[in-house]
Structure 1
Amino acid sequence: MSARDTIFAVSSGAPPAGIAIVRISGPRALPVAAVIAGALPDPRRAALRVLRDPRDGAVLDHAITLVFTGPRTATGEDCVEFHVHGGRAVVAAVEAAIATQPGTRHAEAGEFTRRALENGIIDLTEAEGLGDLLAAQTEGQRRAALRMAEGGLRVLVERWSDDLVGIAARIEAQLDFSDEDDVSDEALGTIAADIAQIAEALEQVLRAPSVERLHEGVRVVIAGAPNSGKSTLLNALTGRDVAIVSPISGTTRDRIEASVVRAGMAYVLTDTAGLTQTPGDAIEQIGIDRAREAIAGADIVVWLDQPGDGSVSDIRVHARCDMSGRETPAGGADVALSARTGQGVEALWELIADRATKLLPQADSVAVNRRQRLLLARCRDALRAANNSDLLIVAEETRRALRALDDVAGRSGIEDVLDAIFSRFCIGK
């Protein structure tokens, strides 16, 4: 298999559909398309063509045909698109006809985007953003992914890289010509200040909430004493019967998770075993241990009739307020509710959403993923280490910071990372 093969695949939704777009990309894209469609239209001008099977001349379909000449294309190569009728048989016939031509093969998952990366049309951060955009299920995920796909992080990385290249040149000048009059003795102080400014800009990005909370959902754990109404509340918050509800104390022995998307935000709600100092048996103790683990890993803890640990993310709930004798909330409760009647459930959701908003990336911010965060932190650490009076150390740490930025953008050899990223893409993207 050669990277210089001419590749093809459906780049629109899977058939059947009203229209299917069959894309061809590579060095032989234009001659291959011409064999099937005859005379091709001028670049970037749509035209109707009759597609024929080169083996016997049989008509395959009537298709809108578009030609894009590299390098200003989606992949950086010559591309042709056939907009055909979206039936499975039509698409299969057109792809089979393309496959008859020498040097062509079906594209692998994410291969069109990978070629765009290799040809400098996009960088790795934009490719990751595109992958997240394809997988987005909530409005928040879509906004964050689109910002990355449109080059939000790329702009920052290029700016930092350009600044560091300029700083590196000044360091080399100081090392080579420090005994000449045209290099100021104050240059080291200026270099240190400029490096510190970039390190602070990196720190601001690293301090912001990560994109993983958008992808994985804000973790909300419901906790409290046995038989305090946790499972009933989980069912009320999800709007479906997720957990078994019973008046028997200790019904919930393990964690029960349910995913919810609400107002463009994803949540993972977790029901836990009741917390008690006197577990009835070993199984109940395991459930309590798992409940404490869930609480420790939670973003927000909803406590039912039980004091929290003082975290600002805690929400105190006075449950079962519809029952006789429980109409008045206990001291310190944030909300009174009845999961059975629905009273107070919306108010609880508002409290959860208010706290979740503070944990998620803002709409206009750049939210980085784990890979990017690790490399940006490596760059920041190198710049902090460059705060040194030895210019040789400053030069080496500056080079180390630049290498980390190159890794963020995918400008250095990271084939294993690329394989992992593009394996998430669909065929034709």
Structure 2
Amino acid sequence: MAFEIRKIRSSQGCKKLVREREEYFRLMDQGVSSREACRIVGINRRTGKRWRNGTNPTKKRPAQPALCVRAERVISASRRLTLEERLYIADQVWAKVSVRRIAAALERSPSTISREIRRNRHPTNGQYRPHAAQARAESRRPRPKPAKIAENSELREYIQERLGRRWSPEQIVQHLHRDFPDRPEMHVAHETIYQALYIQGRGELRRELAKALRTGRARRKPRRQAQQRQPRYRHPMVMISERPAEVADRAVPGHWEGDLIIGKDSGSAIGTLVERSTRYVMLLHLPNGRGTELVRDALVEAVTALPAHLTRSLTWDQGSEMGRHHEFTVATDVPVYFCDPASPWQRGSNENTNGLLRQYFPKGTDLSVHTREDLAAVAAELNGRPRKTLGWETPAERLHTLLTAA
């Protein structure tokens, strides 16, 4: 017979919910989840939680002990494998018994047994020895563990030197594997580098090196929603949906993405161009503003300096600075394709590059103070960074390969 929820739903005052509590624990003993048991007996989930775990004392009421009386399912005498269990595992492994049969006999998960054998067997001959396995497990147990970067001065200096050159942690990790292929003590995950920079009191790297990261932040921050794009202008545009298919797969070089990074109070700007195939970066010098004529002239100057086979198309957002895009196309014979409104992911390479450039040109600063030589130096440094998407080649190396082949 199904449990009937009481019809009077008002507060019970001093009356105890005896029937509800008994039915709640009966359902829990049958393996029903706490959420479902609360729904069946008609109580709040917090009430069920208080019954199971008890409550701490408050100003209005004393502490209440846990009322959960159902028997806990005990898989083993300990949360960790004991020496006796390891002795049994060793005997069964020697007898070539399957992992699942061993797990069933010990009432353990098969993944626990397979992980135990894999992690604690002898590193050279692969044999599983129970006493040695117990020693290895106990040696890994102490917390907190010593940090790898803190203990290895050579590794720490390697990381700090490349952070000073504005390399990302993932770029550093990949080059550690390349420079020290046979030295596992020099291998770390990129998250280890972030933790060494971010965690207060545990950071093994100099805290000022966090400024070398792309975001420049010394702590993690949740991502914000992208800002709304400016409304489109009236001059006819060729939309990105009409762009040739060869542009999307990045197989053919010469297709560029462009945008502006804006300075303090929207009073200055720098133009950015990124080649989709090689991720090669070019910066446009705009010392006198970002008017349509100025942007047009800067684009024409940059594009005409490139070989013809590297100037096939340009993809831009619907910013007002491209109001003379048709004049640019007439002067260079390079078609311009426009992204949909509020769709920055359609120029993903350029958006990513703009984020990298903010290391050199922070938001809220005057960008007009940078000379043409400054922009060339920044572009050269950025094109000299290894990229994961290029198989850890640099954009400059990939572009040089294309030019040599041509």
Q: Could you say whether these structures have the same fold, taking a TM-score greater than 0.5 normalized by the shorter chain as the test?
A: no
Structure having greater relative contact order (Cα 8 Å, sep ≥ 6): 1
TM-score interval (norm. to shorter): under 0.3
Which structure has more strand as a fraction of its residues? 1
Which structure has more helix as a fraction of its residues? 2
TM-score (norm 2): 0.25
Based on CA coordinates, which of the two structures has the bigger radius of gyration?
2
